[in-house]
Structure 1
């Protein structure tokens, strides 16, 4: 018998495919990729990278909260950027949302992301340790 639970909140964009916003298994939560969509309109919040990065972490925080955690409980973060020249900007925005100890992280340059987004983030969170 599986002990996985679906995590879903209206405070983050609805899934735009056959996936869940997050899945909780035991005390581990696997967060699906978040792009900078406004949860109400399902449109990109801006064409400007920094605003997009902020929205990604805002959306991720909403999913973390729905799972009874926070961004501070994230142990692994994967970032996908369509332009690695935005690396310094995403670091600056991360420092607004995360406190030390920072999660383990990968930042990967990709050709394209859904809906023309410039940034996407996915994560693994451990709660109740």
Structure 2
């Protein structure tokens, strides 16, 4: 059985998908980008600020499912420029001080709304 999970603190989906789906004890969180829910604006002051907003948006969805970053077992990071890897990694690492999840980081040619970074995750209870 699956349950749709949507947080009113994370940006609304920009297409026909849910912010997350809970299937059993596993939460599949759709890729988040750096949209500020309150203003509807993209946060793109710097790659670090953009990554921080992406991680905050992931956190809002996790919280709605009564989970936290510690429940994440896998992340997928999509970036527009591999040169930003170090800065993204620095911010990302602040959320996983111990027992970081598995992940891959892939450079892509384009992302929704022309953002620089998008992150999705899988979390378990």
TM range (shorter): over 0.9
Q: CA RMSD in A?
A: 0.8
Counterpart mapping for 1:9-28 below 5 A = 9-28=7-26
Task: Say which SS state the counterpart of residue 122 (structure 1) adopts.
Answer: strand
Structure 1: which 4+ aligned runs deviate by more than 2 Å? Answer: none
Aligned position for 1:112: 110
Q: How many residues align?
A: 125
TM-score normalised over the length of structure 1: 0.94
Name structure 2 gaps, 5 residues minimum: none
TM-score normalised over the length of structure 2: 0.97
Name structure 1 gaps, 5 residues minimum: none
**Residues 78, 107 of structure 1: 8 Å contact kept:** yes
**Residues 72, 99 of structure 1: 8 Å contact kept:** no
Q: CA deviation at 1:18?
A: 0.3
Please give the alpha-carbon distance, in whole angstroms, between the structure 2 residues aligned to 1:38 and 1:122: 17
Aligned position for 1:55: 53
